[in-house]
Structure 1
């Protein structure tokens, strides 16, 4: 199968599920808070539903993808994102928003393992690492689209979500036509016992690092935009521009595969961990300075996509007999950490303020640096 025929629809599906359905929530959150009269604690709880849904669906997707192939889960992911975004656009209250968030968040868990399986099935082995990291960087494209939409389309968060739903529907049709049926079912079956991480060399460091990184990044994804709005005198386009910078620099994360090849997995992980921790610390120190705020956004965007690429490669190397499980385990633990981190962030901000909370999350990121892989 041609590289572009699978990678291009894959990039766009990741863009709409991760970028539009999941991470755009932080950009639109201040307007949603005002419209639905939500407190910071409620905002944190609602945001954690994205990650909670992800935790459930990535397990489901890993099992079903392994047994039946990637096509069904990819189509289900697009459908879930479409319905979730539609519900978020028309919701009359917090409960409707929560249901939409669950469906939108669930789409990201559904979509990650099947693309790993699709690449292992239909892309040449020497191009698989590049394909995985570039599809993963589709998140950045979605973040750019969400930020540009906030600047160019409409300040109305409901209409914005409806536009996102329409785009998602178009991408769903593209993937429906592009992803072939699986003919080699035996290549995708789990071996007995492979659903457990017990006895798998390197699995424990991978899970601990993924969990800690998830906690450390949750505050930035959910509350960074609200933080700079409260701390500085920013115009609406500058606030949306902050989000665009995250996405633009996130594209650089697509080069994680190349850096891993040149510098090794431990070096790539440590570099990404230090950078992502510094993003929270920089924002905590100077949220009102647009240059420093944008610098932190650029560092966070590039290092987050970079690190998820590193975790992806690390996971596949640990679970070398099953690409779906290799993606599913680190991404599941990343999401579990974000459930914990997002809920705690709302409480910490309400109790001690934004700056203190972001310093704490930066320190958690530094702690994660010491949990990385030992060998390339």
Structure 2
């Protein structure tokens, strides 16, 4: 299959599920809090539902993709994102919002493993690393679009979600037409993989690193926008611009595949871990300065997409016979860490405040550098 024929709809589907359906919540959270009268603890619990749903659906998606191929899960991911965004746009209360969050968050778990499998099926082997990392960078495109939407639509968060739902529907139709079928009627038959992680060399460091990185990034995704809003007198466009910067710089993370090829997986992992830890600490000590806050956003956006690309490649190398499992395992543990980190962040911020909480999360990110792939 032509490289762009699979990668372009993949980038857009990832941008909808991760960027619009999942991570845009942190940008719109202050307005949602005000409209639905939610406390920081409730906000943290609601935010954790994104990651909890992700944990469940990525397991489901990995199993079904391994058995049946990628198409069904990709289409289901688009449908889940559409319905979740629609519910979030029309929600009258916290309970309907939570249901929308579960469906929107679940779409991200559904979509990751099948795209890894699709690339292994239809993209030439020497181009698969770049295809995976560029599809993964679609997250940043969605984040940038959600930030631009917030600038134009602030404070109409409901309208924002309704527009995102319509975009999700269009992308779903594109992927429905673009993703080939596999099976008896196809020229390609999907080879079933092994779902076990027992005895897989290098699996434990991958699991621990993914879990710790998930914890360390949760506070930034959920509360960074709220942090800078209470720290200084930012205008609405400056607050939304903070999110746009995360997305725009995230595009640079798409080059992780090239850096891994040149510098090695170990160097790329350590560089990404230190960068993402520094973003939280920079924001903690300079949140009142818009220029330094934007610098923090840029570092975080670039290093997050970069790191997820590194974990993706690392996972596929560890689980070399099963690409969907290689993506599913690190992304699942990343989400488990974000469930833990999001709930803890809500409690810590309510107890000790933003500054101490973000410094602590930065230190957790630094601890992640001690666990990484070997230099070979």
**Superposition TM-score tier, normalisation by shorter sequence:** over 0.9
What is the match of residue 119 of structure 1? 119
**Once the two structures are superposed, what CA deviation does each residue of 1:56-99 show, in whole Å capped at 9, x if it has no partner?**
00000001011111000000000000000000000100000000
1:286 aligns with 2:289: no
TM-score (norm. length: structure 1)? 0.98
**Once the two structures are superposed, what CA deviation does each residue of 1:165-190 show, in whole Å capped at 9, x if it has no partner?**
00000000000000000137754312
TM-score (norm. length: structure 2)? 0.98
What is the match of residue 371 of structure 2? 371
C-alpha distance in structure 2 between counterparts of 1:186 and 1:104, whole Å: 31
C-alpha distance in structure 2 between counterparts of 1:101 and 1:188, whole Å: 34
8 Å Cα contact 1:282/1:293 also seen in 2: yes
Q: Map of 1:2-17 to 2, 5 A cutoff?
A: 2-17=2-17
**Once the two structures are superposed, what CA deviation does each residue of 1:303-325 show, in whole Å capped at 9, x if it has no partner?**
00000000000000000000000
1:188 aligns with 2:191: yes
8 Å Cα contact 1:41/1:343 also seen in 2: yes
Structure 2 gaps of 5+ residues are none
What is the match of residue 132 of structure 1? 132
C-alpha distance in structure 1 between counterparts of 2:304 and 2:177, whole Å: 31
What is the match of residue 165 of structure 1? 165
How many equivalent pairs are there?
A: 373
Query: Secondary structure at 1:27's aligned position in 2?
Result: helix
8 Å Cα contact 2:58/2:332 also seen in 1: yes
Tell me how far 1:153 sits from its aligned partner. Answer: 3.4
Query: Secondary structure at 2:198's aligned position in 1?
Result: coil
C-alpha distance in structure 1 between counterparts of 2:6 and 2:281, whole Å: 38
What is the match of residue 213 of structure 1? 213
C-alpha distance in structure 2 between counterparts of 1:137 and 1:366, whole Å: 23
What is the match of residue 101 of structure 1? 101
What is the match of residue 242 of structure 1? 242
Structure 1 gaps of 5+ residues are none
**Once the two structures are superposed, what CA deviation does each residue of 1:120-178 show, in whole Å capped at 9, x if it has no partner?**
00001110000000000000000000000011234210011000000000000000000
What is the match of residue 308 of structure 1? 308
8 Å Cα contact 1:69/1:185 also seen in 2: no
**Once the two structures are superposed, what CA deviation does each residue of 1:312-358 show, in whole Å capped at 9, x if it has no partner?**
00000000000000000000000000000000000000000000000
Tell me how far 1:374 sits from its aligned partner. Answer: 1.0
8 Å Cα contact 1:68/1:185 also seen in 2: no
Q: Map of 1:1-376 to 2, 5 A cutoff?
A: 1-182=1-182, 183=186, 187-190=190-193, 194-376=194-376
RMSD between aligned residues: 0.9
8 Å Cα contact 2:52/2:339 also seen in 1: yes
C-alpha distance in structure 2 between counterparts of 1:188 and 1:70, whole Å: 11
Query: Secondary structure at 1:373's aligned position in 2?
Result: coil
Query: Secondary structure at 2:166's aligned position in 1?
Result: helix
C-alpha distance in structure 2 between counterparts of 1:9 and 1:36, whole Å: 35
C-alpha distance in structure 2 between counterparts of 1:64 and 1:174, whole Å: 22
8 Å Cα contact 1:17/1:81 also seen in 2: yes
Residues 333 and 184 of structure 1: CA distance in aligned 2, closer, same or farther (over 3 Å): farther
**Once the two structures are superposed, what CA deviation does each residue of 1:11-56 show, in whole Å capped at 9, x if it has no partner?**
0000000000000000000000000000000000000000000000
C-alpha distance in structure 1 between counterparts of 2:76 and 2:55, whole Å: 16
C-alpha distance in structure 1 between counterparts of 2:317 and 2:228, whole Å: 39
C-alpha distance in structure 2 between counterparts of 1:329 and 1:2, whole Å: 28
8 Å Cα contact 2:213/2:365 also seen in 1: yes
